[in-house]
């Protein structure tokens, strides 16, 4: 298995790493383009070709140590997978690791959100996504990829960014004051502080890659036009991390294809940028 960033020892070893990355190659409930189970490997493969010096911040975050854990392969049911992710996340948190989940479809986020909600008080969940994911149940499961934020909302406040697709049935479970619609935030950034003001002290971040516009990330299972772009998203994430305590995050819904390696690389680079912002004060 390739370690994230193809880092040399000791920067990829468990004992010396602040960060643990957990691949979850699960694609059991996706409803359109299949292949998100191949996302974690594609992200890791791309990361091996990434420069590990960050120009923007003049830093090298890998020096805090980034360990890549063995994949979670439980796929007997969405419920069993969610429980496996929850248990693994809790074990890593208890060992002092900042835990990052890479998917896999968005349902893999449910277990790690549950784990962080159990560990951290005053938690909120920040979602970057094209879809609201607020169905209470879908295709017979409350742990379907379309139900992620309904499960999160049961645990703590949520803030949703980049939303531009939903079913009318989700309107009853949606708080319009906590949603930053894609068509309203394009070409401006005055919404960023408004969104951050709605977040609590501790923040868990879940990023569905279809939150990005297909022009920069086409390789996802449910692409939607009108999405976020690279630099405004980084600007927002850096501001969030500067003003709140990011306790964990996930990156999901990479659905790789052989004709588009740019999406794989964007996902790998996004992970590195978030870690850079999180640990900037410790690596400067």
Tens of pLDDT, residue by residue over 56-88, are: 999 999 999 999 999 999 999 999 999 999 999
Threshold 0.75, pTM exceeds: yes
Instruction: Give, to the nearest 10 degrees, the angle between helix 262-278 and helix 230-243.
Output: 20
d(CA 38, CA 34): 9
Which pLDDT band, with edges at 50, 70 and 90, does 17 fall under? Answer: very high
Q: Name residues whose C-beta falls within 8 Å of residue 202's C-beta, 6 or more positions apart in sequence.
A: 120, 121, 122, 123, 124, 244, 245, 247
Which pLDDT band, with edges at 50, 70 and 90, does 33 fall under? Answer: confident
Q: Is the pLDDT of residue 101 over 90?
A: yes
Region 184-199: mean pLDDT is 97
Q: Is the pLDDT of residue 201 over 80?
A: yes
Region 236-262: mean pLDDT is 97
d(CA 178, CA 153): 12
Average pLDDT of the chain is 96
């Amino acid at each position: 298995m390739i370690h994230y960033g193809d880092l040399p020892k000791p920067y990829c070893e468990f004992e010396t790493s602040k960060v643990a990355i957990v691949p979850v190659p699960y694609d059991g409930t996706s409803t359109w383009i299949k292949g998100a189970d191949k996302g974690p490997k594609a992200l890791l493969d791309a990361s091996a070709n990434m420069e590990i010096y960050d120009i923007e911040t003049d830093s090298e975050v890998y020096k805090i140590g980034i360990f890549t854990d063995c994949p979670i392969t439980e796929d007997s049911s969405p419920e069993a997978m969610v429980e496996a992710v929850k248990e693994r996340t809790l074990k890593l948190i208890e060992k002092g690791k900042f835990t990052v989940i890479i998917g896999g479809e968005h349902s893999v986020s449910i277990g790690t959100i549950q784990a962080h909600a159990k560990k951290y008080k005053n938690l909120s969940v920040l979602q970057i996504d094209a879809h609201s994911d607020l169905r209470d149940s879908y295709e017979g499961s409350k742990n379907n990829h379309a139900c992620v934020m309904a499960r999160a909302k049961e645990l703590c406040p949520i803030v949703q960014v980049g939303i531009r697709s939903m079913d009318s049935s989700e309107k009853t479970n949606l708080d319009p004051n906590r949603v930053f619609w894609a068509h309203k935030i394009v070409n401006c950034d005055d919404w960023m502080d408004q969104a951050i003001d709605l977040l609590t002290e501790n923040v868990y971040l879940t990023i569905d890659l279809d939150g990005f516009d297909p022009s920069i990330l086409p390789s996802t299972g449910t692409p939607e036009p009108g999405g976020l772009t690279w630099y405004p998203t980084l600007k927002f994430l850096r501001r969030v991390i500067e003003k709140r305590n990011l306790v964990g995050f996930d990156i999901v819904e990479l659905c790789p294809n052989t004709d588009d390696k740019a999406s794989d690389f964007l996902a790998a680079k996004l992970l590195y940028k978030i870690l850079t912002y999180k640990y900037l004060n410790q690596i400067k």
